[in-house]
């Protein structure tokens, strides 16, 4: 009886060890998961981005075009923009004149081709129906509306004197924009913006880890320099302004 009791105790001890070992491994796994999640949350993303680049652009067909998911469509759009800039800017071609000549040529060719097929007993040319998808337009309009409203909110807060840092950044950005506008016309500016949209996002998506690492270092340096500027200049300027000057009126 004593041997059987000892045997039962040894079995119970083994079971208890297995249970404790399983609990220990599960707790260590949960600790590792917590550490991994905390590491992931500490990753710096440029401009505070929390979503992938594709989602930032809406995640639909416009994002596919800007990020070269469909190389033929993206190349065609960028090529058309480049051709338009060459015609209107370098060759000084008039938009209405170009549209009229191209339309006349295209309609004449298609009309003669369709008419000729009736005499030679062949099928007329296949002319596809062209229409703009409603979904794409709504996505672009929705994204543009959100960004415009966000910009209006930022400008309102700046105008109310609530954020001196953003005020200085906006003034610097507008000054750079005025300098760029004085050196090139509106069409060239639009073309530059188009080229930037088709190159910078796809390059950033490809090298985002390196860019984010560099951006983190740059942001730390900017914050350090801004702290020095705030301590030596901005705080003194703000101290001379009456405290109730920027308070929102009821």
Q: How confident is the model at residue 237 (pLDDT cuts 50, 70, 90)?
A: low
Q: What is the average per-residue pLDDT within 220-248? A: 69
> Distance between CA atoms of 156 and 152, rounded to whole angstroms?
6
Q: Which of 103-107, 123-127, 221-225 is modeled with the greatest confidence? A: 103-107
Is it the case that residue 248 has pLDDT exceeding 60?
no
The whole-number pLDDT of residue 81 equals 92
Q: What share of the chain is helix, strand, coil (3-state, %, to 5)?
A: 80, 0, 20
Is it the case that residue 97 has pLDDT exceeding 70?
yes
CA 47 to chain CA centroid, nearest Å: 10
The whole-number pLDDT of residue 2 equals 46
> Distance between CA atoms of 5 and 31, rounded to whole angstroms?
39
Q: What is the average per-residue pLDDT within 10-38? A: 50
Q: Which of 52-56, 76-80, 167-171, 220-224 is modeled with the greatest confidence? A: 76-80
Q: What is the average per-residue pLDDT within 234-239? A: 66
For the CA atoms of 140, 143, 147, 152, the dihedral, rounded to the nearest 10 degrees, stands at 80
Q: What is the average per-residue pLDDT within 53-66? A: 81
DSSP assignment of 165-179: HHHHHHHHHHHHHHH
Is it the case that residue 48 has pLDDT exceeding 70?
no
> Distance between CA atoms of 223 and 184, rounded to whole angstroms?
33
Residue where the block lists tokens 């060239």: 188
């Amino acid at each position: 009886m004593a041997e059987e009791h000892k045997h039962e105790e040894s079995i119970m001890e083994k079971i208890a060890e297995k249970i404790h070992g399983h609990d220990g491994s599960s707790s260590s796994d949960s600790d590792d998961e917590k550490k991994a999640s905390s590491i992931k949350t500490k990753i710096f993303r440029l401009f505070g981005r929390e979503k992938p680049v594709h989602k930032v652009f809406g995640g639909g067909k416009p994002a596919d075009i800007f990020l070269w998911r469909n190389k033929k469509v993206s190349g065609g759009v960028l090529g058309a923009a480049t051709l338009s800039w060459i015609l209107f800017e370098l060759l000084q071609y008039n938009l209405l004149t170009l549209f009229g000549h191209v339309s006349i040529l295209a309609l004449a060719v298609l009309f003669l081709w369709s008419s000729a097929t009736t005499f030679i007993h062949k099928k007329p040319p296949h002319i596809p129906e062209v229409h703009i998808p409603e979904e794409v337009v709504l996505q672009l309009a929705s994204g543009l509306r959100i960004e415009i409203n966000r910009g209006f909110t930022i400008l309102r807060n700046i105008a109310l004197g609530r954020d001196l840092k953003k005020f200085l950044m906006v003034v610097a950005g507008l000054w750079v924009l005025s300098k760029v506008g004085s050196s090139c016309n509106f069409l060239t500016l639009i073309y530059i913006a188009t080229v930037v949209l088709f190159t910078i996002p796809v390059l950033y998506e490809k090298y985002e880890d390196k860019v984010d690492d560099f951006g983190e270092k740059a942001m730390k340096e900017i914050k350090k320099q801004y702290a020095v500027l705030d301590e030596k200049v901005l705080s003194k300027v703000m101290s001379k302004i009456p405290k109730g000057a920027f308070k929102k009126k009821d």
